[in-house]
Amino acid sequence: MNQIVSYIPFRLGDYDKQLLFIIVLIAGTGMVMLYSASSAIGRELGDSAIYLKGHFVRLLIGFGVLALTMHIDYRLYKKIAFPLLVIAAIVLLAGLIHHRFWGTGTTARWIYISGISVQTSELMKFSLITYIAYYLEKKKDKMNSFNDGLLPMVIVIGISSLLILKQPDFSTTAILVTVVFIMLFIGNARISHLFAIGSVGSLLMLLSLFGSSYQIARIESYFKGGDLSGAGYQMQQSMMSLGGGGFLGIGLGESISKNLFLPTPHTDFILAIIGEEMGFLGVLAISTLFLMFFFRSLKVAKSSKDSFGLYLAVGLASSIFLYAVVNAAVVSGLLPVTGLPIPLVSYGGSNVLYTLGSVGVILNISSSTKNIKKRYNRSSN
């Protein structure tokens, strides 16, 4: 049996094809809607397809990363989990130091390499989720103990969250912490411990909001309403766009709001353009695709033959799905403006690479499971 679960070279045909098809469908839909949402702004820059071209290049690179991670044995990540976490922390710290002494923007979320911006928190997301999965497998018999099991994780999570909060990036921190708590919950951590840690952590995160003027402004505009500047204006225009499409929408490419009424319609608020042009059915379709991706990923996680694969698949899938959920909540006015994109649909770079790289890891887990089943069946016969 040990020989069966040892390293197995994966073949191309053994991955979860349904999961990959869903991702390709989301990316394809995103390209169509991104061109529609960005064409007006593009024309102002002299090329209506300028953002589509940039997004297409990012998708090509992203699917290249997917192909790579799909063929790397996911169990190898256990060997580099801690070094990868340390590297991610160093990158975040370097970004904070650079911004403190040489930065000109309002946040330290990005570092620039040869003119290309990279969002540093994306590396931390993957690294922390990978390390948590590794730790939960290693300490699975001690997770009921706070001192021997949970406390080291609290320290790691606290340091990682603090580095992202200092950028500042409250929304990414909140999602990452939520994902980690989901992983700890299925890793048999005691609910009373999680509740106590979550209460203290939530209080500290809320207190951190008072150190960021633009985040306070976003929250104030959300609760006060009627604000016609900044985030308040963006939110109002988003809800008008989303509701203006009715059930069937006004037609692909026919959006009125994208003609410079809705700021950045091709990034964080592209779902509003989808609602305006494709109606409730269009929003329902893209939401259904993300639900299908999430449940398909959970099926992969459930069928994993080791706990590391289970935790890793759940963590990565949850982080992608929660981005889509929070983005939809912001666009519909249920949450204040966060600045989080909808994966593979919003224009962007770092999140595209993170999303497709993570999907590649999940596909590798599914491939591993199918190979093990095949070898087991051969040995039984």
If you average pLDDT over residues 339-364, what whole number do you get? 93
Domain ranges, residue 56: 15-373
73, 368 in Cβ contact below 8 A?
A: yes
Q: Answer whether residue 88 shows pLDDT above 80.
A: yes
Query: For the chain, what is the domain count?
Result: 1
If you average pLDDT over residues 100-104, what whole number do you get? 71
The pLDDT value given to residue 36: 93
If you average pLDDT over residues 332-349, what whole number do you get? 87
If you average pLDDT over residues 363-377, what whole number do you get? 69
For residue 210, the 8-state DSSP code is G
Coil, strand, or helix at residue 117? strand
What's the CA gap between 327 and 286, in Å, rounded? 12
Structure confidence by residue, pLDDT tens digits, 143-186: 888 888 888 999 999 999 989 988 878 889 999 999 999 999 99
Domain assignment present for residue 379? The answer is no
Q: Answer whether residue 225 shows pLDDT above 80.
A: no
State pTM to two decimals: 0.89
The pLDDT value given to residue 218: 65
If you average pLDDT over residues 212-229, what whole number do you get? 61
Confidence band of 17 (pLDDT split at 50, 70, 90): very high
Residue found under tokens 């692909």: 252
What is the dihedral sign for C-alpha 365, 366, 367, 370? positive
The pLDDT value given to residue 241: 85
Mean pLDDT for the chain overall: 85
Q: Answer whether residue 2 shows pLDDT above 60.
A: no
In 52-193, DSSP assigns E strands to 110-113, 116-119
What's the CA gap between 282 and 380, in Å, rounded? 48
Confidence band of 317 (pLDDT split at 50, 70, 90): very high
One-letter amino acid for residue 1 of the chain: M
Report the percentage of the chain scoring pLDDT > 90: 50
The pLDDT value given to residue 94: 86
Domain assignment present for residue 314? The answer is yes
If you average pLDDT over residues 324-330, what whole number do you get? 93
Of 79, 90, 124, 12, whose CA–CA distance to 366 is shortest? 12
Domain assignment present for residue 5? The answer is no
Q: Answer whether residue 352 shows pLDDT above 70.
A: yes
What's the CA gap between 251 and 257, in Å, rounded? 13
Domain assignment present for residue 137? The answer is yes
320, 312 in Cβ contact below 8 A?
A: no
The pLDDT value given to residue 290: 98
Domain assignment present for residue 2? The answer is no
User: Read out DSSP for 74-89?
Assistant: GGGHHHHHHHHHHHHH
Structure confidence by residue, pLDDT tens digits, 274-287: 999 999 999 999 99
If you average pLDDT over residues 44-60, what whole number do you get? 93
Q: Answer whether residue 129 shows pLDDT above 90.
A: yes
Domain assignment present for residue 10? The answer is no
Of 197, 205, 141, whose CA–CA distance to 169 is shortest? 205
Domain assignment present for residue 7? The answer is no
CA atoms within 13 A on the CB side of 161: 24
Domain assignment present for residue 381? The answer is no
175, 319 in Cβ contact below 8 A?
A: yes
364 vs 102, higher pLDDT: 364
Q: Answer whether residue 72 shows pLDDT above 80.
A: yes
234, 263 in Cβ contact below 8 A?
A: yes
